[in-house]
Structure 1
C-alpha cells in the first residue's frame, strides 16, 4: 500500500512538472485529457516545440530537469533532457542531474539515473536550431569529464 501511494505521488509530481513546461510554452491543450494520461499527453505536446526553439529562456531549465527526473519512463525522459542539452549545454544538464543524485529523494535519485543516460544524446546541427547557426558549439557547454568523474564517485559512495 505504501508503494502504491509513493507511485501515485511520483505520478502527480511528473504531471505538475510536465504542466509547468507546457505553461512556459503557453500550451493549454490537455484540459480534456483524463488525468491518468495527462502527464504523458503534455510531455508529447511539448517535445516538438522545445526542440524547434533556437533559444530557451533561463526559466525553462529547472522545470525541464524536474520533468526529466520525475518522468517515470526512461524512454521518454529524453523529451525533456535533449532540448535542455541543446539549449543549456550537456555540462549544465549533467551537473543538475548530479545534484539530484547527491541530494534528492530515492525517487529523484532513480530519475536522475534514468535521465543521465539521455544526457549523452548525440548533438547534431540539423536536430535543433539551438545547436548553432554555424553548426558549431562552444565546447565548454559540453565538457563533462569532471562531472562524469563526480557522478561515478557519488554512485560508488551510495553503493557502500
Structure 2
C-alpha cells in the first residue's frame, strides 16, 4: 500500500473511532467541519465532557481504547487515554494497550506504543470526579507493575 493510501486509511479509521466516542458522549458528528479536520475536532470536543464524568459506562471502554490507538498524533491520544485511566483504572487501560501490542495490526501496535506513554498520566483528585469525595480511589485500579513488566518483555522479545 502506498504511503498516501496508508495515511488516508489511518485518517478514516481515526475519524470512525472519534465519531463513535462523540456519539457515546451525545455529541453530533461535526458534519459541518471539513473531513480533514473532523476527527481532531471531535477528539477535542469529547475531552472535557469525558473528564467531567465521575464514571463512564462500560460501553465507552473499547471505543476509547480504539480511538487512542488510532490517533496518529502521540500528543493527542492522551485525550482518550486520560479519561479511560480515570474511569476504568490504569491497570485496565495498560492491559488493553498490551493486548493491542500483542495481537493488533501493525498500525494498532504502533498506536499502542504511542498511547502507552499517556497511560502513565499522573492521577489527581482535583482533575476528575472519578475520585471519592475524600480524594481516594481503589488502588488496585492503578496497580500495574506486572503489566509494565510484561510490556517491557514484549518489546524486548520483538527487538530480538
TM over 0.5: yes
Instruction: Give the conservation status (yes or no) of the 8 Å contact 2:81–2:119.
Output: yes
| Corresponding residue for residue 145 of structure 2 | 145
TM-score in terms of structure 2 length: 0.98
Measure how far apart 1:29 and its partner are: 5.5
Measure how far apart 1:124 and its partner are: 0.3
| Corresponding residue for residue 155 of structure 1 | 155
CA RMSD, aligned part only?
0.9
**What's the CA shift string for 1:70-106, capped at 9, x where partnerless?**
0000010000000000000000000000000001111
Output the CA distance in 1 between the equivalents of 2:156 and 2:121.
24
Structure 1 unpaired stretches of 5+? none
Output the CA distance in 1 between the equivalents of 2:141 and 2:114.
21
Output the CA distance in 2 between the equivalents of 1:131 and 1:99.
27
TM-score in terms of structure 1 length: 0.98
Counterparts of 1:1-160 in structure 2, within 5 Å, are 2-28=2-28, 30-160=30-160
Output the CA distance in 1 between the equivalents of 2:128 and 2:57.
15
SS at match of 1:99: helix
Structure 2 unpaired stretches of 5+? none
SS at match of 1:74: coil
Output the CA distance in 2 between the equivalents of 1:54 and 1:93.
17
SS at match of 2:121: coil
Runs of 4+ deviating beyond 4 Å: none
Count of residues in correspondence between the two structures: 160
**What's the CA shift string for 1:114-147, capped at 9, x where partnerless?**
1000000000000010122220111100000100
Output the CA distance in 2 between the equivalents of 1:138 and 1:150.
22
Farther-moved stretch of structure 1 (143-152 vs 129-138): 129-138
